[in-house]
Each structure stands twice: as structure tokens, then as C-alpha cells.
A and B are shown apart, each in its own frame.
Chain A
Amino acid sequence: MPQKSPKINLEGLLKLKKAERPDPAFWDQFQKEFRQRQLQTVMVRESFWSRLPQLILARSRLLVPLSGLALVLFVFLLNYRGNPPSQGDFVETVALAQPTPEIKMEPSVREPALPPQPRREAVFIPALSSAPASFVVDVIPAKLPETATYTQEFPTPTIRSNSDSPATYVSYTISRDTPIYVSAALSQRIGF
């Protein structure tokens, strides 16, 4: 073929590509298909916006009560966050709701009789938190080595004692078991 082939320049040869084109009938099909695809695109785009009010109306049976509920919840939360219950109120409420139990202590070894003393109370200073906690009091008699332990539900404003000895209460421990207080377990020592 090289011997027989005619000689042309590159630009001229490339112009041959312009002669490669579809028949006129092709464009009718092209345009028809394009219109269909364009219409599909338009329908997809319009359907969402045109159907939006219908979608809202169709779900109004659910939307109205749900919106009302959401509004009530919102107002409640707003009010609650604006005025949270104070610590004092809480302690007072608990104190009223739960009468302070009497703490009875019976030492295993009878102490020698002492002259009667005025009744004393260990006054518990309300905790700074309303978190649940266990309250353990270690009662160590002043004169005898034995100890007695009891657990009191927390919070409680007052610990009463039947003991006549003023130095009976020597220590108590409050340990909170909520996550926020685990690392801040409190140990205190009180005396009279």
C-alpha cells in the first residue's frame, strides 16, 4: 500500500475527520432521546418540591400530636434548666419524707456505769450533692476496744445515739458510688 498510497499533508489528512459524521436522521433520534432524559431530570427535580406540601399534609395526623408533644417537652426542659432544684430543697424534702431512724447501739461488753450525761447528737452536715451514697459509721467506744458498725441510708440530717458516752462517735465514712463521685470518696473524722 505505501507505494500506491496518495501523498497528503497532515493537516489535510486530519480534516478528513470532519467528513465522518452521522446521517441527518440520526439527529432526530438523538434529540428525541435527549428530550426524554431531560424530562426525566425535570420530573425528578420538580416532583420533590411539588410533593412536599402533600407529604406534609399526608402526615399531619401524626405530625400534630408529635409537634405538640415536642413543644411540651421543650417548654419543660427550658423551665427545668432555668430553675434547677437547689441542694437545700432536696435535703429538706428528703428529711421530711424519711423520718430519721433511731440508731441503737449495744456494745458487746458492758461498760462500767458512768454518771448520766446530757443527750448528744452528731449533727450531719448535708452533703453537697444529692447523689446516692452509702453512709457507714464506725462506732468505737472510748474505753473498750470493740467497734460496732452500722449503715445508714444517705442523706440523713441527724444521727442519734442512745449511748451515754460523749466520746462514742469517733469516725464516719461516706462513700458515694455514683460514677462522678468514685474518685472523690470522702472520709472524715469527727469527735466530741
Chain B
Amino acid sequence: MAPARTIGRTLISSPEVQAERDGDLLLVRRVQSGDVAAFDHLVLKYRERMFSVIYNLTSNKEDTYDLSQETFIKAFQSIGRFKARSSFFTWLYRIAVNTTLTHLKKNRFRSFLSFETLHEEACPTDVLEALSSKSSTEKPALLKELQYKLNEALQTLSVKHRTVIVLFEIDDLSHQEIAEIMNCSVGTVRSRLHYAKKQLQAKLQDWLD
């Protein structure tokens, strides 16, 4: 797992990534010049990733739906001010994260979990292998329990620590990208990541090696 991730994250400045960024910028320029339909391409491209990051931060699918809509509407409304100092992808992530953090701050005393469907075919192989010894009737129940425990453990982390672990471990962003999105230093990202992992390990020790 680790080598694959490393390769994925070093591709950030690769020609493929650069071409993708140029493609995004082209679409952004079209939207800025009045082509509203061009924004649909950007929504289609990033909606799942935005949904994922928001869902992993809130663990609530209804809130995630609203916040994802809000994120894209905000991005559309302020795309005229986008100066391409960072990539569109980073800029959009920043809007999503800030919108979600504002929502979480506002509703910190009114939070409840509401999960999305867990697709078994998309589960990581090591988790499935670990569960393979169980009977077919036990497996879905164990997966459900694992999903609940994991979301619960994530929600016990502070918002900043949760954001870092979600962006790094689930969305596969680099330290540099996370630092840009969260407007902090790479060192801070590393330190928060270390602390968050330690916390999660303590919470999920019954499930871990």
C-alpha cells in the first residue's frame, strides 16, 4: 500500500497531472468568459471527490449532500475571482473543507451519524481477507460494525486532526497539498497526522494488528 501511495503522490508535478491542471484551467477560463455549461464538466469531474471528503469529515450523508451542493455553488459564484495561483482542484478542496468546517463549528452540539452504503466490492482487499474466515452471514454484519466503529472513532478527533487524516489517508493528498488547503505549514500537517493516527489507533485497537 505504501509504495503505491508514494508513487501516486510524487505524480503531483508529473506531466499527466500538469495536463489535468491545464484542462481544468481551460474550463475555468471558459466559465469566466460566460460559458456556464463548462462548469458542469468540472462538477462531473470532482463531485465524487468533494462528496467523499465532506462525508468523511461529517459522517452524515444528508449534511454531505447539502454541503456538496453549497461547495459547488460557492465555487461557481466566486470562480470569477479565481486567479490560478493554485490549481483549481486545490482551490475547490479549500472551499469544500472550509464550508464543512464552518458547518461543523456551527452544529458542534447537534451532530449525529448517518452512513452511506458500504459497497463490499469496493472494500480494501486486506479488510476482506481478514473477514474471509467468517461465514457469509457474519461478514456483512462485521463490515457494518467496522464502518460504525471507524466513523465513530473519526468523529472523536478534533476537526483539524480529522481533516488531516481524511485528506491524507482517504483522499490520498500530499502533505504539501494539505498544507495549502488548510493554510498551515507542512510540519504542522505532519504533526497533526501523527497525533491523529495515534488517537485512532487507541480507539480502534480491538480491530488493529
Q: Which residues of A contact B (CB under 8 A)?
A: 1-2, 5-23, 27, 30-31, 33-35, 37-38, 41-42
A18 is contacted by which of B61, B68, B76, B122 (Cβ under 8 Å)? Answer: B122
Q: Which residue of A lies closest to B205 (CB)?
A: A2
**Chain A nearest Cβ from B7, distance in angstroms:** 15
A16 touches B69 (CB 8 A): no
Q: Which residues of A contact B206 (CB under 8 A)?
A: 1-2, 5
A20 touches B55 (CB 8 A): yes
Q: Mark B30-57, 1 if CB is under 8 A from A, else 0.
A: 0000001001100110011001100110
Q: Which residues of B contact A (CB under 8 A)?
A: 1-2, 36, 39-40, 43-44, 47-48, 51-52, 55-56, 61, 65, 68-69, 72-73, 76-77, 115-120, 122-124, 126-127, 130-131, 133-134, 142-143, 145-147, 150, 165-166, 169-170, 197, 200-201, 204, 206-209
Q: Which residues of A contact B207 (CB under 8 A)?
A: 5-8, 13
Mostly, the B contact residues are: helix
**Chain B nearest Cβ from A63, distance in angstroms:** 30
B117 touches A11 (CB 8 A): no
Chain A to chain B: the 6 pairs with minimum beta-carbon distance, closest first? A6-B130, A19-B122, A2-B206, A15-B124, A12-B126, A20-B116
How far is B118's CA from A37's CA once the two chains are assembled, in angstroms?
29
Q: Which residues of B contact A27 (CB under 8 A)?
A: 47-48
B52 touches A21 (CB 8 A): yes
**Chain A nearest Cβ from B176, distance in angstroms:** 20
A12 touches B61 (CB 8 A): no
Q: Which residues of A contact B123 (CB under 8 A)?
A: 16, 19
Q: Which residue of A lies closest to B115 (CB)?
A: A20
